[in-house]
């Protein structure tokens, strides 16, 4: 499974759900600038919350309000970083942008995956904004990130 931004959230949640409900078997997670938590107080929200960085803190709060409505934003079924355990999840490749409100939660999710014994690789683009990797043909770092994601996916499938 894989996804970008909100899609990364859905991919992480689906991987956890598949693990908890014993299937379907998922062999790889590609999580690009993923939304993994609803904590708007992380440092990256303060550092890069201005709209000039593409994805602002206000936008994320609006998205969350519409995603969960009256639901609980801390429920692991919408905030996968808050899951009790990340053990038993499939191999993951996490892509993180440096100038992104989601940077710190992406890094935290990759770290928790590693602590849980999940085979995880992390690709950091510290000088790029949220979702930079969609700028194929315009940003060299995007080309490198997509190529690295393809290498990691190939590696995971060859080991399966």
**CATH number for the domain including 66?**
3.40.50.1820
Give the DSSP letter of residue 22: T
Residue among 5, 44, 57, 123 flagged as catalytic? 5
Q: Is residue 147 over pLDDT 90?
A: yes
Residue among 4, 44, 104, 130 flagged as catalytic? 130
Q: Residue 42: which domain range? A: 2-159
Total number of domains constituting the chain: 1
In the structure encoding, which two tokens stand for residue 17, read together? 């759900």
Annotated catalytic residue 100? yes
Instruction: For residue 37, give the 3-state DSSP assignment.
Output: coil
Confidence tier at 45 by pLDDT (50, 70, 90): very high
Confidence tier at 89 by pLDDT (50, 70, 90): very high
Annotated catalytic residue 46? no
* Average pLDDT of every residue of the chain: 97
Q: Is residue 69 over pLDDT 80?
A: yes
For the entire predicted model, the pTM comes to 0.96
Give the DSSP letter of residue 102: T
């Amino acid at each position: 499974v894989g996804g970008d931004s909100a899609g990364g959230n859905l991919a992480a949640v689906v991987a956890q759900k598949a693990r908890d409900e014993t299937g379907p078997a998922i062999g790889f997670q590609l999580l690009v600038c993923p939304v993994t938590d609803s904590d708007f107080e992380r440092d990256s929200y303060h550092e890069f919350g201005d709209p000039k960085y593409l994805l602002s803190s206000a936008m994320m709060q609006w998205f969350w309000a519409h995603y969960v409505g009256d639901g609980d934003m801390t429920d692991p079924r919408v905030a996968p970083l808050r899951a009790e355990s990340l053990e038993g999840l499939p191999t993951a490749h996490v892509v993180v942008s440096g100038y992104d409100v989601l940077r710190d939660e992406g890094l935290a999710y990759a770290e928790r995956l590693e602590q849980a014994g999940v085979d995880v690789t992390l690709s950091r683009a510290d000088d790029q904004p949220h979702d930079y990797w969609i700028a194929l043909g315009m940003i060299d770092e995007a080309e490198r990130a997509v190529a690295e994601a393809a290498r990691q996916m190939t590696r995971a499938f060859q080991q399966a």
